[in-house]
Structure 1
Amino acid sequence: MRRLISHVLPILLVVMLFCPAPVRAAPAQAQTTVSGNTANFKPDVIYQVLLDRFFDGNPANNDPPEARGLYDGSHKNWRLYWGGDLAGLTQKLSYLADMGITALWISPPVENIHRLTDHNEAGYHGYWARDFYRIDPHVGTWDDFATLVRTAHSKGIKVILDFAPNHTSPRETAEQGSLYRDGAFQAAYNNDPQNWFHHLPAIMDYNDPYQNVYYSLFNLADLAQENNGVDSYLKGAIAKFLQYGIDGIRLDAAKHLSEPGGGWSRTLSDAVNANAPHYLVGEWLMSGIDDPTYPAAASFANHSGINLLNFPLTTALRNVYGAGKNATELDAVLTREGRDLLWLNDQAVSIDNHDMPRFLSLNGSHDRLHQALAVTMTLPGIPIIYYGTEQYLHNDTDGGGDPYSRPMMTNFDTTTTAYREIKLLAQLRHSNPALAYGSYQQRWLNNDVFIFERHFNQNVIVVAVNKSATPYTISNMQTRLPDGTYRDYLGSLLHGGTSLTVTNGAVSSFLLGANQVSIWQASADKGPAIGSVSPNLSRPGGQVVIDGQGFGSTPGTVKFGASNATVKSWSAQSITVTVPQVTSGLQMVQVCTSTCSNGYPTRVSTGPQTAVTFTVRNAPPTNPGDNVYLTGQFDELGNWDVKAAIGPLHTPKYPDWFVLAGVPACQKIELKFVIVRANGSVQWEKDPNHTYTTPCNGTGSFTVNWQN
């Protein structure tokens, strides 16, 4: 997401198998390949790159003829292009691969505005699109994009496209939000006869769901996804990028696209995964688990097929290791999210990004940075490293916020402690599935010390971090590690090297030194055990990939509830199946060979999805705290369960209420509107049910009067 005015706002692997003493032997050679599964990113380490600020691989495109005067080669004007491009990133892929990076999140490469705003700012960041069907000339060409994807894949690196369908560019300056399709004009905020944009004020209350979706974010021209032309345009643009083999999508400003139940965003994820399984993750900015929008964000992650950038966990990491707050905050966030999120390991976590001050601007201690990185790389979720973190890159001007959080990458040193730390922990993520698929359990905790355990099947990892300058004696600690003595996986890299001795699940007392980070692990392949079913929203006839361990080489059976799935491919760690015809909703997936695995939940839609605006007019009078909901006979509408119904609906024109919902396409659906009163009582519409046949393509609308 990008504000209008920027100032505002050798590979090692430790396999710890059981043996009593002595201390474990030195690490062995690690795997060097990554999974080809484009939907399961759980074992991966993502590296976020702002293309313009990484590396200039082709100086000839710095000041292209179609957009002259937006480039500053001196790198003094932070609001202009500085020369980084697709060619430059491609040239540095070996540097990233050697660090253990297995996924690359690139800023939007689409063509941005060709003019400066009235604040003399260019779209160097990529979030002010003018043409989603072209590559911005400052960063390269479609051939450059194809070369990046192809080269990244050859090095075992997946590519995530940053896609920003919420808006175009500033609506009252520069190009007034103009939108083109491969050069052909479509609409502008000040020239919009087909209503491609919402013409409403700027968001004032970010806790108001209606304002979040329909008002303007930072005065950017807000696209109307419910408009059939906009829907077709955006999904066509995604389809073009999919043809180039991208592996995932980061959905910018997902909070501002996200109706209850997923809305249009759910139809986008359905369209993407109809092509092939992909990983999708959305930006839902919030302060923490106490944020008023947190429940809606959790529901979005559980229903839309789009995971979240885990901002509550980012906030906790910055608070604990950047601002010196109690380590108990991390455990509190993870405990709450463990209850609320169906797929915690699919959410992505980082310590900073392009929209906030870098960690070292918050706290300049390298020790604190190393501690925060270690926890980020080992907690539940997919770790993201913001470009240059491994080089201690930061600029503290005005506190280091946007745009100063976006310096030019200057060093590519492979010997820094942070680079070596990331490399070691990336190897651990790929060698021990406890990090990718494991549960979380806090093992020892006070204000300074955070010790936790990850467990999957017979794989265990224990992580200990002391952010204090004072050593702590750790006693009375339990673990799932088998009996034996374990060498610190990180050695002395982060003030560690302490061995751990386990007897009958009890850890012998040990000293955790000042600023020490230590990791101990055990690994065993005993299965079958499912760690991932991806994507987490599919439909009958679509493909999903099941990852884990112990599946064996001889195909067995895969069940969705009581129904057998058709197996497309089978290996000891990954199975691809076709989703059977099952009832929509959550299904438990199970792999059976000589024995059966754990059950793993996945959500199955009724079929292809379409976005429909449902409106009920003249609803009965409501009081503050009363809300209207929509329900019907499919999982998408809650299966007539008021607790799972779509809502609350919006009422900008009371007593009319509406919502944009993702529903089965080309289906006759039955539905009703209900009022849930502040006291918990429920008022249903009278019979009969409303009926509506949803469109087979594009978007739709359905309006009725409340049935008294």
Structure 2
Amino acid sequence: MSRAPSRRRGPAVVAAAVLAVAAVPPPALADHTAPPARVTLMGSLQSELGCATDWDEACTATDLAPVAGSSTAFEGVFEVPAGSYAHKVRLDGSWEQAYGLGDDDAPLVLEAPAALRVRYDHATHAVTVAPAQAQPGLVRADRDLARSSLREDLTRERFYFVMADRFENGSPANDDGGYGGDRLVSGLDPTAKGFYHGGDLKGIIDRLDYIEGLGTTAIWLTPSFKNRPVQGAGENTSAGYHGYWITDFTQIDPHLGTNAELEQLVDQAHARGMKVFFDIITNHTADVIQYAEGTQAYVPKGTEPYRDAAGNPFDDREVAGSADFPALDAATSFPYTPVFAQPGDATVKVPAWLNDPALYHNRGNAAFDGGESDLYGDFSGLDDLFTERPEVVAGMKDVYRTWVDFGIDGFRIDTVKHVGTEFWQDFAPAIEEHAAAGGNDDFFSFGEVYDADPAKLSRYTTEAGLQATLDFGFQARAQAFGTGRSATGLRDLFAQDDLYTDADSNAYSLPTFLGNHDMGRIGRFLAEGGAGGEELLARDRMVHALMYLTRGQPVVYYGDEQGFTGDGGDQDARQDMFGSRVASYNDDDLIGTDATTEASNFDDQHPMYRWIAELSALRERHPALADGAQVHRYASDGPGVYAFSRIDDRDDVEHLVAVNNAEQAQEVTLDTASDRAKFKGLWPAGTADVRATASGEVTVTVPPLSAVVWRAGSPIKRSTAAPVPTFTTGATVGGRAEVGVDVPGDGLNQVTVAARPVGTTAWTVLGTDDNAPYRVFHDVSGLPQGSLLEYRAVVKDHSGNLAAAGTSATVGPAPAVVAPPTDGGGPVVQPGAVSVPGSLNSEIGCPGDWQPDCEQAQMALDPETQRWSLTVDLPAGTYEFKVAVARSWAENYGAGGVRDGANIALVAPGGPVTFTYDHATHRVEAATG
């Protein structure tokens, strides 16, 4: 039973507080009344607390008592059984003054019985519910929770990504794949960039010395299975040289060689200490199925649902991967009727189960717009597998278990975001477990999720269960940095690494790259930024240094070590390493050489080849540069220096790295964790030594378009006690909730965060973070609102000392804005004015909405925090807003801190809202309560 809502609106802190701490706390409400004589906890839990009934207006057993020393606070402690409840706090027996979730009842969900402290503050009308007993400081059980940041998956590989058809022709006998001389049958035409050129596995075997000499530890092959040789019509005709049009998942494409030659390649690579990775596909096969209706426009499920064999509509998401998935009829279950253009097409796929047209989505082409069709639509006409069907899941696991048994060391998985999460949650661990059962505990899979947003990429390593994803976020920021953009882009990227942190993975495993066979080459991107000649070579070297010295596992796209550039992406970025006959390749202006692709390009004296080999050797000699903790130190607000430390917790020796993308030398002062230590100039040769001050600062000069590495001459000084952490998490967690922990000082710490439902005893580790800001992201979207949780943080410092802290929070709405905090940077010039224009302006006294020059919308700068803030009282409702600089729209920031970005949504429960803005990061927040 729910009583009448209050007509007075108060801030429901328990349900609407944003996780980040507001720069300025909200003031007391201007309209608050005198302190009440009686405060009563009302709700559906009263009968459990000694009252005759629920919502019992006469019961005094749930009255809250005044808190000693406070004129506004009231609280009570209650033993509450497990269950789901609704509650409010009522003042002086009047429903005119009752506070819950805004005007509504506040939910409370307990998984187990618990003693709870209910507190009401009349100054803010905030109601909070928390465990009656605060968590203690460090206890013996915390030693079991204290973890080290994960390095269990591969973190030290150096990949060479090679397209076999374009690398080296080791056997001309297989050039036409045994299909004969007709280019439209065999797909062979070395003069056409969209056809087979003759490269093969034998060619890779013949060039293993070259690949190894680059410092490669893992060779990643484009898909190598048997493909449909030619697809398309007219000017859209092209060949399957790239490997993404598979018809037979059990044998190597005859254009590339044989299964025996693959075995030879794997054996010889392993003998040299190099791994071999396969590029695999589970989303689609070759384009074999046609639609009888003669059209390919996507048909949404809302327009035409799937139907079982009996004609009943059903939602495949509800039965995805389960034995409850119904039988289907290819003739009646789909919006399109699948047919075969040629009789032979009906049996062309291997294994044979792939020939069943009911195992495909049959909905038309994907729109690539982020909607439903991206999961269910055909990828440019390719047959899209019904990966929700358990037969497809089982079949794909069987296919790829076979290749694991072949000795392959890992998979790069294509088109991951076009397959549902449920598939990956089954497929990924099954493959990993099969490899481990066969003796390969290091088997490693990483997915291609073509998106530069870490919030989206990380979903596939946390929720979907993949070990890693290709780091498209790094590629975007590294490209921008390489062309002279602000160093803060890199700072902001790495600050979001915590999104990847969970109990079994983190960002240190992410393969990083600068360009690829789809988007194009880094050389072209840098040239399009305006660089040429020696400057282009310098920038190419600089971004490769950045990739090799930052966290993650660097991937070199074949040919980049020879200065390849290209005219664009896709076919224009797939040049031949052996002598090419493609005119549009041969007119490319290569970086660092006068050579062209018309001649063979395996020059181990090319400046980029030598540079990458040197970086590989540096990374090999100093493992901290591969997977040591990466700690942010400095980022110029514009072209200039990005600096960071790399520290291996096995020896606690700090490596300091600074990369300068400006065309002038830069002098910067950097913090370190190594007080008074001498930092030896480690790389490149001739780098001067520097010494840290008593406070750990060093002043260094970084040459233009270059990278420099220093190494401390001694480990970080041992500590006698770990710093005591405090939680920065607010009273409410929602959605993919940021659980933040503040750790005093600048030391090297590893912070493990765990969670449990209030009333239970077993902690679940959420993850371990090894650099500030310390935090994990806890996905509570599947928990009922009102669920009460406890969090525990255990700090392990570099000397092994421990400290701990705890807090609690209630599951509520997701925060209005999810934006990663960053940890300072270079000099920031604050603007003269910052405002909050939006649909809320008329509610705060402006003449109209969306007015950046309105006086009431102007923020104030806190001189200590250097953050802007504005607190206003808003009626309950849904609003949109942005932040504008200098009272105009010329410079404005929206969702995600993006300039000219999307409007930011805000759901206000009624009461004070505090807006904050950090001009260093363009981070925007709105905290209610």
| TM-score category of the 2 structures, normalised to the smaller one | 0.5 to 0.7
Instruction: Report the Cα offset of residue 521 of structure 1.
Output: 2.4
Quote the residue 1:366 is aligned against: 537
Instruction: Report the Cα offset of residue 415 of structure 1.
Output: 1.9
Instruction: Report the Cα offset of residue 137 of structure 1.
Output: 0.3
Instruction: Report the Cα offset of residue 643 of structure 1.
Output: 8.5
Secondary structure in structure 1 of the residue aligned to 2:692: strand
Distance change in 2, residues 1:67/1:439 (3 Å) = farther
Q: Do residues 418 (structure 1) and 617 (structure 2) align?
A: no
> CA contact under 8 A between 1:484 and 1:503: conserved in structure 2?
no
Secondary structure in structure 2 of the residue aligned to 1:226: coil
Give CA deviations for 1:495-541 in whole Å, capped at 9, x if unaligned: xx3433334463543322222221122488999xxxxxxxxxxxxxx
Q: Do residues 306 (structure 1) and 443 (structure 2) align?
A: no
> CA contact under 8 A between 2:189 and 2:195: conserved in structure 1?
no
Quote the residue 2:385 is aligned against: 223
- Distance in 2 separating the partners of 1:179 and 1:248: 32
| Equivalent of 1:352 in 515, 518, 523 | 515
Distance change in 2, residues 1:152/1:178 (3 Å) = farther
Aligned residue type for 1:109: S
Counterparts of 1:382-531 in structure 2, within 5 Å, are: 382-396=553-567, 400-409=568-577, 410-446=600-636, 447=638, 448-457=640-649, 458-475=652-669, 477-480=671-674, 483-491=677-685, 497-504=687-694, 506-522=696-712
Distance change in 2, residues 1:180/1:138 (3 Å) = farther
> CA contact under 8 A between 1:48 and 1:385: conserved in structure 2?
yes
Q: Do residues 268 (structure 1) and 427 (structure 2) align?
A: yes
Instruction: Report the Cα offset of residue 243 of structure 1.
Output: 1.2
Distance change in 2, residues 1:178/1:383 (3 Å) = farther
Secondary structure in structure 1 of the residue aligned to 2:277: strand
Quote the residue 1:319 is aligned against: 480
Distance change in 2, residues 1:508/1:271 (3 Å) = closer
Instruction: Report the Cα offset of residue 235 of structure 1.
Output: 1.3
Secondary structure in structure 2 of the residue aligned to 1:441: strand
Secondary structure in structure 1 of the residue aligned to 2:570: coil
Instruction: Report the Cα offset of residue 81 of structure 1.
Output: 0.5
Distance change in 2, residues 1:217/1:583 (3 Å) = farther
Q: Do residues 378 (structure 1) and 541 (structure 2) align?
A: no
Quote the residue 2:863 is aligned against: none
Give CA deviations for 1:660-680 in whole Å, capped at 9, x if unaligned: xxxxxxxxxxxxxxxxxx979
- Distance in 2 separating the partners of 1:433 and 1:102: 14
Aligned residue type for 2:462: N
TM-score (norm 2): 0.50
Quote the residue 1:240 is aligned against: 402
> CA contact under 8 A between 1:43 and 1:382: conserved in structure 2?
yes
> CA contact under 8 A between 1:371 and 1:517: conserved in structure 2?
yes
What CA RMSD, in Å, does the superposition of the two structures yield over aligned residues?
Answer: 3.9
Secondary structure in structure 2 of the residue aligned to 1:132: strand
> CA contact under 8 A between 1:169 and 1:178: conserved in structure 2?
no
Aligned residue type for 1:305: L
> CA contact under 8 A between 2:674 and 2:692: conserved in structure 1?
no
Quote the residue 2:264 is aligned against: 147
Q: Do residues 56 (structure 1) and 246 (structure 2) align?
A: no
Instruction: Report the Cα offset of residue 178 of structure 1.
Output: 5.7
| Equivalent of 1:164 in 240, 264, 281 | 281
- Distance in 1 separating the partners of 2:282 and 2:172: 29
Instruction: Report the Cα offset of residue 90 of structure 1.
Output: 1.3
Give CA deviations for 1:63-82 in whole Å, capped at 9, x if unaligned: 12247534677632011001
Distance change in 2, residues 1:525/1:162 (3 Å) = farther
- Distance in 2 separating the partners of 1:583 and 1:132: 45
Instruction: Report the Cα offset of residue 240 of structure 1.
Output: 1.3
Quote the residue 1:284 is aligned against: 449
- Distance in 2 separating the partners of 1:461 and 1:282: 30
Distance change in 2, residues 1:306/1:511 (3 Å) = closer
> CA contact under 8 A between 2:269 and 2:276: conserved in structure 1?
yes
- Distance in 1 separating the partners of 2:369 and 2:456: 13
> CA contact under 8 A between 1:460 and 1:480: conserved in structure 2?
yes
Give CA deviations for 1:271-292 in whole Å, capped at 9, x if unaligned: 1122213111001111x33xxx
Q: Do residues 127 (structure 1) and 127 (structure 2) align?
A: no
Quote the residue 1:579 is aligned against: none
> CA contact under 8 A between 1:179 and 1:186: conserved in structure 2?
no
Aligned length: 504
Secondary structure in structure 1 of the residue aligned to 2:710: strand
Aligned residue type for 1:413: D
> CA contact under 8 A between 2:208 and 2:269: conserved in structure 1?
yes
Deviates more, 1:454-463 or 1:52-61: 454-463
> CA contact under 8 A between 1:54 and 1:84: conserved in structure 2?
yes
Instruction: Report the Cα offset of residue 346 of structure 1.
Output: 1.1
Counterparts of 1:209-220 in structure 2, within 5 Å, are: 210-220=372-382
- Distance in 2 separating the partners of 1:628 and 1:58: 55
Secondary structure in structure 2 of the residue aligned to 1:429: helix
- Distance in 2 separating the partners of 1:628 and 1:388: 45
- Distance in 2 separating the partners of 1:184 and 1:243: 17
- Distance in 2 separating the partners of 1:525 and 1:66: 63
Quote the residue 1:85 is aligned against: 200
- Distance in 2 separating the partners of 1:140 and 1:585: 49
Counterparts of 1:554-633 in structure 2, within 5 Å, are: 586=765
> CA contact under 8 A between 2:187 and 2:240: conserved in structure 1?
no
TM-score (norm 1): 0.64
> CA contact under 8 A between 2:660 and 2:706: conserved in structure 1?
yes
Deviates more, 1:221-230 or 1:174-183: 174-183
Instruction: Report the Cα offset of residue 472 of structure 1.
Output: 1.5
Distance change in 2, residues 1:643/1:187 (3 Å) = farther
Secondary structure in structure 1 of the residue aligned to 2:383: strand
Give CA deviations for 1:586-627 in whole Å, capped at 9, x if unaligned: 4779xxxxxxxxxx9999xxxxxxxxxxxxxxxxxxxxxxx9
Give CA deviations for 1:105-160 in whole Å, capped at 9, x if unaligned: 11111110033322211110001111111110001111011011111111111111
Aligned residue type for 1:95: Y
Distance change in 2, residues 1:426/1:680 (3 Å) = farther
Give CA deviations for 1:437-464 in whole Å, capped at 9, x if unaligned: 3222222221222111112211322221
- Distance in 1 separating the partners of 2:776 and 2:269: 30
Aligned residue type for 2:165: D
Instruction: Report the Cα offset of residue 171 of structure 1.
Output: 5.2
| Equivalent of 1:328 in 488, 501, 508 | 488
- Distance in 1 separating the partners of 2:455 and 2:706: 36
> CA contact under 8 A between 1:39 and 1:248: conserved in structure 2?
no
> CA contact under 8 A between 1:469 and 1:514: conserved in structure 2?
yes
Instruction: Report the Cα offset of residue 39 of structure 1.
Output: 7.1
| Equivalent of 1:338 in 495, 498, 508 | 498
Aligned residue type for 2:198: G
- Distance in 2 separating the partners of 1:106 and 1:584: 42
> CA contact under 8 A between 1:42 and 1:381: conserved in structure 2?
yes
Distance change in 2, residues 1:404/1:516 (3 Å) = same
| Equivalent of 1:41 in 150, 154, 170 | 154
> CA contact under 8 A between 1:80 and 1:124: conserved in structure 2?
yes
Quote the residue 2:86 is aligned against: none
Aligned residue type for 1:408: D
Distance change in 2, residues 1:438/1:523 (3 Å) = farther
